[in-house]
Amino acid sequence: MSAFATFAAITAISTGLKMYGQAQQNAQQVTNLRAQASEYRASAAENLAFAREQAGLYMQTGAENARAIEFRGAELLMQEQIAGQRRIGSIRARAGSSGASVNVGTPANVQIAQAFANDYNQRMIDYNTRYEAARTRLEAKNKAKMELRRGQLAYTQLMRRAALADQGAGQVAGARDLQLFSTLLGGAADFGQLYYRFNQLDDTPTEP
């Protein structure tokens, strides 16, 4: 085999190996980017599902706590109603034991005042119960809302990253042919230079 053929074969093999390596590297980059996009999508779905689950738990816990407050308020209201009746009964008993009429004069006025006080106490218990129950439900609703917003924001960000990774994979895959063609042109240029140099050597006059 002539020197030119040997060098030409080496150039062709070198160019072929370089193109093969570039093709493999390009394929690996595309695979990695697509795998990354899949991971982003899976993570986005998991984040959103978790946020929805947490929001549901917040609402459930809030509703349970509010019902417990209402139940306790109903107990307190019943206890206050019984206590109020006992206070009025005690006033009537004291007035009766003193020989005074329980339905006129001072005993009657004291009973009316006590009835107003009892009514006020019961109204306050009912108001506080309603207020605390409503506040508990509202806090749970706000926490659930914030959790859903956080999950939606994370979902959007991760899906954008997935789209960028897909876009990158497409760009890398699209650039493969151009990159390989550029390497092929480089190999052809090397072969042309080699051919020119050997021609120059052949054209060099030899001494007799």
| Start-end of H helices in the chain | 3-97, 105-203
pLDDT tens digits, one per residue of 91-125: 777 766 766 565 666 767 787 888 899 899 999 99
**Which residues are within 8 A (CB) of 159 and not within 5 positions of it... i.e. 6 or more apart?**
40, 41, 44
Residue 171 has pLDDT above 60, yes or no: yes
Task: Report the pLDDT averaged over residues 2-16.
Answer: 53
pLDDT tens digits, one per residue of 61-83: 999 999 999 999 999 999 999 99
DSSP three-state, residue 204: coil
Q: How many Cβ atoms are within 10 Å of 33's Cβ, its own excluded? A: 20
Q: Are 25 and 173 in contact (CB under 8 A)?
A: no
| Amino acid identity for residue 14 in this structure | S
Residue 184 has pLDDT above 50, yes or no: no
What is the residue whose two structure tokens read 């946020």?
51
Does the reported pTM lie above 0.75? no
Amino acid 129: pLDDT: 95
